[in-house]
């Protein structure tokens, strides 16, 4: 099996979001991307997922996570690094801008 096919493997994770337990199933590469975003923004993964959950409305959580990742990397490609603007943590301008695209 190639490394690329491993990236397509589905991975389930059980997490607690805002006091409720849920299971999320996504491709390994999607989880890795979400973890990279959290690390880049100095946020905990569960806090980032909770922020996305808070604003997703009637949309599914898994789909909202995928859309957030796409929008983050789109915004990241055109915005200056968060470190240049003085902030990274959860609630940083970059995360807030991407969350706004999901509202």
The enclosing domain of 86 has a CATH number of 1.10.3990.20
- Residue 76's pLDDT is what? 78
pLDDT in tens, 12-28: 999 999 899 999 999 99
Residues of the chain with pLDDT under 70: 1-5, 79-91
Distance CA 57, CA 64 (A): 9
**Beta-sheet pairing, 10-17 with 20-27:** antiparallel
User: Domain span at residue 37?
Assistant: 3-102
- Residue 64's pLDDT is what? 98
- Give 8-33 as a 3 state SS string: CCEEEEEEEECCEEEEEEEEHHHHHH
Look at the chain and report how many structural domains it folds into.
1
Distance CA 17, CA 8 (A): 25
CB atoms near residue 37 (< 10 Å): 20
């Amino acid at each position: 099996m190639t490394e690329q096919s491993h990236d397509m493997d589905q991975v389930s994770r059980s997490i607690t979001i805002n006091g409720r337990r849920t299971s999320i199933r996504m491709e390994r590469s999607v989880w890795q991307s979400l973890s990279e975003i959290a690390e880049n923004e100095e946020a905990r993964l569960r806090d980032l997922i909770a922020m996305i959950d808070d604003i997703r409305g009637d949309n599914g959580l898994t789909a909202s996570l995928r859309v957030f990742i796409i929008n983050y990397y789109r915004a990241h490609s055109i915005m200056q690094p968060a470190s240049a603007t003085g902030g990274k943590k959860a609630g940083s301008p970059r995360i807030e801008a991407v969350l706004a695209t999901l509202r």
